[in-house]
Structure 1
Amino acid sequence: MSLSRLNTKNLHIAYGDQEIVKNVSLHITDGMITTIIGSNGCGKSTLLKTIARIHPSKSGSVFLDGKEIHKESTKKIAQKMAILPQSPDAPEGLTVAELVSYGRFPYQKRVRLNAKDHEVINWALQVTGVDAFRHKVVDSLSGGQRQKVWIAMALAQETDIILLDEPTTYLDLSHQLEILELLKWLNVKEKRTIVMVLHDLNHAARFADRIVAMKHGQIVKEGSAEEVITTATLRDVFHIDAEVIKDPRTKKPVCLTYDLIDSIFDAAEEKVIV
């Protein structure tokens, strides 16, 4: 039986009177990469934010190590779980090393960093490949470099679990792969549990051990890439008619091409014909 330190039970999440996530019970398998997919507005980012304790739940619970996270101290949670939100902003003028040092705050009892803090910060800078930029201002870096710096900060927290909301947004193809390869390395070599929201289905299939597909605030399918990235599931979740094949390199499912089901343009043409 797979172990799960992090899970939700009967989770309902709302923005005002609008319920976004409805009765979601999800078990995050330890030591795996779990990717949440779904159309815009389906609740995937909202679910991640609530798991990370950024957004409150309407009802239901999020458990970490058997304890409800909303009843635990922020510092204690931050020592176990790191969150990288979508398109984070660093304070103006902050250097790379200074930003990464923020990851040590959950462990600090004094204002000054100690030898252990510096050791962890240096390690995080090196494994993410941004050590050469340590004295540069974060805003002066490229999008891919900045994203690596934020991941380095998350690593400096020394957590077993890392949550990421669309970590490849606005990056070109090579930088997307660099970020995802880094996350895979952290998962395999450092045994980090990774949970992320991704839009790119082929990236989800290639890098995730487990995929969770959401629709209208609920989980409609979860399992391996082979179980989730199918013509039937993509039709249900994204309302597309997709051709799914096996990638000759990775042996993972690939969405090769797709069309909209009941395109609004087709409907418009039918009305004209009538």
Structure 2
Amino acid sequence: MRLVFDTSELERVRKRLLELASADPDVVGAAVIGSHALGHDDRWSDIDLAIGVRGPLTEALQRWTLWLQAEFDVMHHWDLPSGPSVYRLFLLPGLIEIDIGFMPAEVFGPRGPNWRTVFGSPAPLKPTQPPNVDYLIGMAWHDVLAGHKYLSRGRFWQAEHWISSVRDQVLALACLRLGHPTGYAKGAHLLPASVTEPLQAALIRSLDEPELRRALTAAIAALTDELALSAPALAARLTPLLARVATDRAEQSEGPR
């Protein structure tokens, strides 16, 4: 099966979806969202749309799902709620992904810059607040402690999860500091090598205890470096505590302490 698509095929599917939206009397507006809205899409892009719906979303979701199953032989779909809206994600046999945001008519409008109205009158863009730096720092030290605890308990899969999450929080903090998108590592490719290269040492290569401890130590080092830039005063308080975790070699136990 193909993982790279002909852009003309993607455009054909997108055009057909917009035709369905235009013909649906309960759809008050439609927009192209995601990378295609700004002309940044490529052969690996999903098809992302938003539609404003008059009346209950449940009826529109059911109706549209039946249409897409009939036209594109949908293999699977699932929902991602977002406030009063629901994003339904469809997988087609050719591994094409369609993401459609079903929005109540009264809130139909952009949630960010990746929006191009096709028809309808969307509500104005409401500025979204970036994540709070204290929240990201809190998540980071929480994940450090969780990684250490599960590593000490000998629960290596859980330790891997939390240690990797520390790395993700460092990326988010650096993106926030430099004005890049923070969610889902969308701004990670814009970060300087001074941020990303040290984080490579935090990549986990196996579930052996020494390897997990090495990766945790590297993640803590990257976190303390980022704290010094993102929140210097807080870094002065947290760095000694994080250093204690990095140097701890507590014995494993069978269960929680």
Which TM class, normalised by the smaller chain length?
Answer: under 0.3
Structure with greater Cα Rg: 2
Q: TM-score, normalised by structure 2?
A: 0.25
Which TM-score applies when normalising by structure 1?
A: 0.24
Question: Counting strand residues as a fraction of each chain, which structure ranks higher?
Answer: 1
